[in-house]
C-alpha cells in the first residue's frame, strides 16, 4: 500500500469549498482580522506597508481608509502593470482576504514624522465601510525584507 502526500494546494481547495458551503445566513457580517503585516525600513519620509486582512464572515466589506499618527497621510494603492495608482477603497471578500504585498496592493505612508527603524512598530487604524475600525501594529523590518524567506 502506498501513501501519497496530499499537495497543499489540494487541501486549501477543499477547505475553500467547505467554507463556501456554509453561507446563507441573513445576518451575515464581516469578521475581520489582520496578519502578516510589515513595513520595510524606510529610507526617506515615505514608506510602504503590507498586511493581510482576512474575513471569516459571510459578508464582504471594504477597506475605505487607513490612518496613522506616524505619518501625515496614508493612502491605499494598487499596482496595475508596471505602475501604481491610489484607490478610494479595496474589497475584502466574504470568506476571503485582501492581501497587500510587494508588487501588488500596498499602503503608502507619506510625510513620516520620524523614520521608524527596524524592530520598531508603526500603529495604524484601518477603517471599513461597515465593520468598526481595527488597530494594527506593523513591525518595521529590514529595507530588503522578504516575507517568503522571513529575512
Ligand atoms: Cu504606491
Cell digits of residue 5: 502526500
Provide φ and ψ at 6, rounded to 5°: -85, 120
Percent residues over pLDDT 70 in the chain? 83
Mean pLDDT of 126-138: 98
Percent residues over pLDDT 90 in the chain? 80
Whether the model clears a pTM of 0.75, i.e. scores above it, the answer is: yes
Ligand 1 centre distance from Cα of residue 75 (Å)? 8
Judged by DSSP in three states, 8 sits in helix
State pLDDT tens for residues 4-54: 555 555 555 555 555 555 555 557 899 999 999 999 999 999 999 999 999
pLDDT of 108 higher than 70: yes
How far apart CA 55 and CA 32 sit, in angstroms, is: 5
pLDDT of 124 higher than 90: yes
Go through the domains of the chain in sequence order and give each one's CATH number: 27-141 (2.60.40.1890)
- Residues within 5 Å of ion ligand 1, judged at the Cβ atom: 77, 84, 108
What pLDDT, on the 0 to 100 scale, is given for residue 130?
97
Ligand 1 centre distance from Cα of residue 108 (Å)? 6
Minimal CA–CA distance to 52: which of 7, 13, 100? 100
Comparing 25 with 86, which gets the higher pLDDT? 86
Ligand 1 centre distance from Cα of residue 29 (Å)? 30
Burial environment of residue 54 by CB neighbours within 10 A (0 to 12, 13 to 18, 19 or more) = middle
- Our measurement of the distance from residue 137's CA atom to the centroid of its chain's CA atoms, rounded to an integer in Å, reads 12
Strand partners, 32: 55
Ligand 1 centre distance from Cα of residue 36 (Å)? 19
How far apart CA 63 and CA 125 sit, in angstroms, is: 11
Amino acid at each position: 500500500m502506498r501513501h501519497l502526500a496530499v499537495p497543499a494546494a489540494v487541501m486549501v481547495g477543499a477547505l475553500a469549498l467547505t467554507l463556501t458551503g456554509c453561507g446563507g445566513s441573513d445576518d451575515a457580517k464581516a469578521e475581520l482580522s489582520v496578519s502578516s503585516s510589515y513595513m520595510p525600513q524606510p529610507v526617506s519620509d515615505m514608506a510602504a506597508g503590507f498586511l493581510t486582512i482576512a474575513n471569516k464572515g459571510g459578508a464582504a466589506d471594504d477597506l475605505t481608509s487607513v490612518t496613522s499618527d506616524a505619518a501625515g497621510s496614508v493612502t491605499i494603492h494598487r499596482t496595475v502593470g508596471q505602475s501604481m495608482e491610489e484607490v478610494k477603497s479595496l474589497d475584502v471578500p466574504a470568506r476571503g482576504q485582501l492581501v497587500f504585498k510587494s508588487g501588488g496592493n500596498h499602503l503608502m505612508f507619506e510625510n513620516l514624522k520620524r523614520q521608524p527603524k527596524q524592530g520598531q512598530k508603526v500603529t495604524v487604524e484601518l477603517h471599513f465601510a461597515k465593520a468598526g475600525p481595527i488597530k494594527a501594529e506593523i513591525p518595521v523590518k529590514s529595507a530588503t525584507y522578504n516575507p517568503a524567506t522571513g529575512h
